Amino acid sequence: MKRIPTKTMDGTLLSRRSALFGVLGTGLSLAFDGTAMARPAAFDRWVSAFRERAIRRGIAAATYDRVMHGVTPDTTVFAAVRAQPEFTEQLWQYINRRCSDWRVITGKERAKEYAPLLKRVEADYGVDRYILLGLWGMESSFGDVITNRKYMRPVIPALAALAWGEPRRRRYWEAELLNALVIVDRGWAEPKDMIGSWAGAMGHTQWMPEVWLHMGVDYDRDGRASPFGKPDDSFAGTARYLVERGRYRRGEAWGCEVTVPHNRRRFADNRSWRPYAQWRELGIERADGAPFARPHDQVKLWLPVAGGPAFLVGQNFRAVYSYNPSTAYALALCHLGDLIRGGAGFHKQFPGGERVPTIDEVKEIQRRLNALGFKTDGVDGRTGSDTLRAILAFQKKVGMEPADGYAGLKVLARLRQGG
């Protein structure tokens, strides 16, 4: 529930992670100098003052003392903030990266592996299993990174640093630190086990402490709700979130790609909700030619990019959006779920777009980059941060424009030319 892409004035996309990194890097550089620190005296005073606030929240004094009197603020968070490279992405690039060949292949494997669990969650909460698989793939690469210290860190030292030293969102970080302390106080987790992003998101579906605390479900009946370990609790808690906070509707599709007559594009106004049947009367049809399965469900017409594919989207698209308020995120997640289900790619290409590179093509990109001295930390067909950095460095060296870090066919063609 991080990494929220925001459209910029020129139509590119900037992740909220990058935007927030920029804010934090500016606001905290004077205070922290971007390096790990010993426990500062000012932090000790803040810990002592914050203790009363925690006790008022109902956290046992013994819990607070055990956790907070021994914690050192993770100021490396702020060094990482300023060290992040800037990647801008067009919408088609954003979707291609998140709907990669590796994610689709792995998602299909996980769909089979966890079919009984997904079937049970689907029956209990009404959330389409492929929406959950798409979300799992987007948030943690199907659980692959949840305890990887390269990407994740202990969240309480990070939240403590933010609550103490980040004035622009102090109330938010204080509240999330308190939520994390409540989780420890309830015995759901020990601080050392609470590993997550620099902002405190944890587990298979990247719960913030507030979500863990209020939406968590003990679905495996082991006596606690947890986003870690088996994905049972994560699936159920995430489905509960989508239903209760996103108002997900059982049985409805998120939407679909459609064809739109030119004279009907004016209806893509983000306000006009109609049943599928009425849209059909206006000449708008599914792009794959199939009939609308539930013609009475209410949807609206959406054209994300001029000249690109069009969609009818309904309440369940909005439910996905509630998990991470970005239309790019919601579209990529829903599309990933459809691909895992066995669906096809978009019928209409985004302007300037490319097809998704195959996993073998990504591996070739990685091999060629490594041979040229641009290290990708392995050849696995996945476009992680090391591969993006390597591509960005290569693009800058050879003068490719735009230098965007995207592992696409143009980069592969240039690499095949010898750089």
Residue 11 in this model has a pLDDT that exceeds 50:
no
The pLDDT assigned to 365 comes to 98
The C-alpha atoms of residue 387 and residue 24 are separated, in whole angstroms, by 25
The structure tokens 């060094």 sit at: 79
Domain boundaries, the chain: 5-85+154-198, 255-319, 359-416
Residue 233 in this model has a pLDDT that exceeds 90:
yes
The C-alpha atoms of residue 146 and residue 140 are separated, in whole angstroms, by 6
- Rg, C-alpha atoms of the chain: 23
The pLDDT assigned to 15 comes to 35
The C-alpha atoms of residue 250 and residue 118 are separated, in whole angstroms, by 15
Give 23 or 176, the one with higher predicted confidence.
176
Contact between 161 and 39 (Cβ < 8 Å):
no
The domain covering 5-85+154-198 belongs, at the CATH homologous superfamily level, to Bacterial muramidase (1.10.8.350)
The pLDDT assigned to 168 comes to 77
- Amino acid identity for residue 143 in this structure: G
Residue 7 in this model has a pLDDT that exceeds 50:
no
* Whole-prediction pTM: 0.89
The C-alpha atoms of residue 42 and residue 230 are separated, in whole angstroms, by 40
Tell me: the pLDDT tens digits for 152-198? Answer: 999 999 999 999 988 778 899 999 999 999 999 999 999 999 999 98
Percent of the chain with pLDDT over 70: 88
Percent of the chain with pLDDT over 90: 80
3-state secondary structure 200-234: CCECCCCECHHHHHHHCCCCCCCCCCCCCCCCHHH
Residue 29 in this model has a pLDDT that exceeds 70:
no
The C-alpha atoms of residue 98 and residue 138 are separated, in whole angstroms, by 7
Name the least confident of 54-58, 67-71, 242-246, 247-251. 67-71
Tell me: the pLDDT tens digits for 102-134? Answer: 999 999 999 999 999 999 999 999 999 999 999
Residue 284 in this model has a pLDDT that exceeds 50:
yes
The predicted model gives 311-323 an average pLDDT of: 98
The C-alpha atoms of residue 157 and residue 173 are separated, in whole angstroms, by 12
Q: Which structure tokens are listed for 220?
A: 């495996």
